[in-house]
Amino acid sequence: MTKSSLNPAQRRTVEIIEAICADLILKKEFENLFEQLSRLGNGFVDIEVRHRLPSRLVLERRYKELL
C-alpha cells in the first residue's frame, strides 16, 4: 500500500500522523488502521499514535447504534 493508493481522507490521516508528504510504501500499521476503519459504522474514534505510527484505535458509539 502506498500513500498515492489511498483515498483523500486516508491520505490526510497519514499526513496528520506522519507529517511526511513523500509517496512511500506505508507501514503495516496504517494498512491495519484503514482496514479496521473500513469495517466500522458510524461513531467517533480516537487513534493513539506512538513513534509516528497508529498503535491503538478506540471506538465510541452511541447507544442507539448498538441495538
Q: What is the pLDDT of residues 34-50, one digit of tens each?
A: 998 888 777 788 899 99
Show the domain range for 37.
3-66
* Number of C-beta neighbours around residue 32 at 10 A: 12
C-alpha distance from residue 47 to each of 3, 33, 53 (Å): 18, 9, 10
- The per-residue pLDDT for 45 is 86
Number of domains in the chain: 1
d(CA 32, CA 27) in angstroms, rounded, equals 9
d(CA 52, CA 66) in angstroms, rounded, equals 32
Q: Is the pTM of this model over 0.75?
A: no
Please name every residue paired with 59 in a beta bridge, in sequence order, or none if there are none.
45
- The per-residue pLDDT for 59 is 80
Residue 17 has pLDDT above 90, yes or no: no
- Per-residue pLDDT band for 2 (boundaries 50, 70, 90) equals confident
What average pLDDT does the segment 9-31 reach?
84
Look at the alpha carbons of 3, 9, 15, 13 in this order and tell me if their dihedral is positive or negative: negative
